[in-house]
A and B are shown apart, each in its own frame.
Chain A
Amino acid sequence: GAGVSQSPSNKVTEKGKDVELRCDPISGHTALYWYRQRLGQGLEFLIYFQGNSAPDKSGLPSDRFSAERTGESVSTLTIQRTQQEDSAVYLCASSLAETDYEQYFGPGTRLTVT
């Protein structure tokens, strides 16, 4: 079956531009996470969606970052007025949450801000 997919796989953008990253979770997964991973670093939690609950946005680093999720399907992470320090791999993961706590990760989007 299909796993978690993310698009684009790579994105190069100029400083100050807005970018939108997309995540398609595994069908039926109610939980969806966004993480940021800088080169050689661990995973930095950004935002968490669980069913119809209000999202946990506590990890978003600034108000330039926002994310939405349509029901229990696709999610988009938007970064406005990108800065060079936003350069990283952005990973999306989904899980069933109720019965399966294992997170399934997408391949990530590598964002480079020049």
Chain B
Amino acid sequence: GQNIDQPTEMTATEGAIVQINCTYQTSGFNGLFWYQQHAGEAPTFLSYNVLDGLEEKGRFSSFLSRSKGYSYLLLKELQMKDSASYLCAVREENRDDKIIFGKGTRLHILP
């Protein structure tokens, strides 16, 4: 079956660093995505990992360990505008590349 787990909510302070974890158990694996979704808006793409390791893109980095079924999204130098939901999603190789989303982590940034 499919199972993608991430914390429901997190709180962090402006200027700090936060790590949002995601674990998954899926039928085949062909990549993991992170999306950002502000309240009332559609999700927007942040990152895509298919190989083990860390991908850095500005203030955001995403890490993947395929053997552990684990990923994290790291946000540095937090800004108030980073308050949003962060969605972890997995592409399933054995199902014609269907993409399944986790329930998302709501991140609250405090001044």
Residues of A within 8 A of B (CB): 31, 33, 35, 41-43, 45, 48, 50, 53, 56, 91, 97, 101-108
Contact = CB atoms under 8 A, between A and B. Distances in A.
B91 A56 contact: no
Given A102-B45, A106-B42, A108-B42, A56 B98 contact: yes
B104 to A, nearest CB: 4
A91 B42 contact: yes
What bracket does the count of chain B residues touching chain A fall in?
Answer: 20 to 34
Given A101-B48, A102-B45, 4 more contacts: A33-B99, A42-B85, A101-B33, A103-B45
Interface in B67-111: 85, 87, 89, 91, 95-104
A56 B95 CA distance: 9
A56 B96 CA distance: 9
Contact of B102 (A42, A102, A103, A108): A42
A45 B98 contact: yes
A102 B42 contact: no
Nearest to B106: A40
B87 A42 contact: yes
Contact of B43 (A45, A56, A97, A105): A105
